[in-house]
Structure 1
């Protein structure tokens, strides 16, 4: 019964609204799979119960790594420009990979939907 209750309250849904920090990058993996990686800079809000979370160190934004795997989504995202205001929906993923003989990990948002909310005015 406990597993059923946990399944009903567990969620891995992310919605980011922020600025694209750099050009999206197309990556071909050794497996032959292709993905697009990009970063979204989002304003850091106060944590629940705290009026100044993250402010003491002066950090006002978080740069969140994101990936897109589906062909349609990849085609859309590669047309984005740095500074575009974007909305990304997806799930948090922890990926493990080999680099330099060691196993490493990376946390990112795997986008299931994404759109431009406003184009950057910078040329």
Structure 2
């Protein structure tokens, strides 16, 4: 059986933006879009967290341009893959899980809007 059949890393999230999206310049010269989605848990424990804050990123210029119009509390839906990223800090190696987005759209509370899709 091929790995294409066994492995799958597809994430779809719909949640509320906790803050305005940021564009962060990287040492490589690329620009990274970073935003955080607040996603409610389906069945939270009575005394536990009721939501999670998920970091989402994208290097895609089309999605970066589209996300520039998003504001805090907008409801956004994204598609992408879950990735683990490592980087060095003065105290050692740090790690984070992020959703690397390939599509994203603002979800209107009325009619659905078109998604931005890139290859």
Whole-angstrom distance in 2 between the partners of 1:19 and 1:29: 26
Whole-angstrom distance in 1 between the partners of 2:5 and 2:47: 37
Kindly provide the CA deviation profile for residues 52-100 of structure 1, in whole angstroms up to 9, marking residues without a partner as x: xx41433111110000111011111121000001100000011111121
TM-score by length of 2: 0.84
Moved over 3 A (4+): none
Whole-angstrom distance in 2 between the partners of 1:85 and 1:74: 16
Match of 2:59 among 61, 64, 69: 69
Computing the radius of gyration over CA atoms, which structure comes out larger, 1 or 2?
1
Residue 31 of structure 1, CA deviation: 1.5
Match of 1:41 among 38, 41, 44: 38
TM-score by length of 1: 0.81
Say whether residues 1:98 and 2:91 are aligned partners: no
Compute the RMSD of aligned alpha carbons: 1.5
Kindly provide the CA deviation profile for residues 3-48 of structure 1, in whole angstroms up to 9, marking residues without a partner as x: x2x53132100000111110111101112111110001111013xx
Whole-angstrom distance in 2 between the partners of 1:110 and 1:55: 28
Aligned length: 109
Matched with 2:15 is: 18
Match of 2:105 among 93, 112, 115: 115
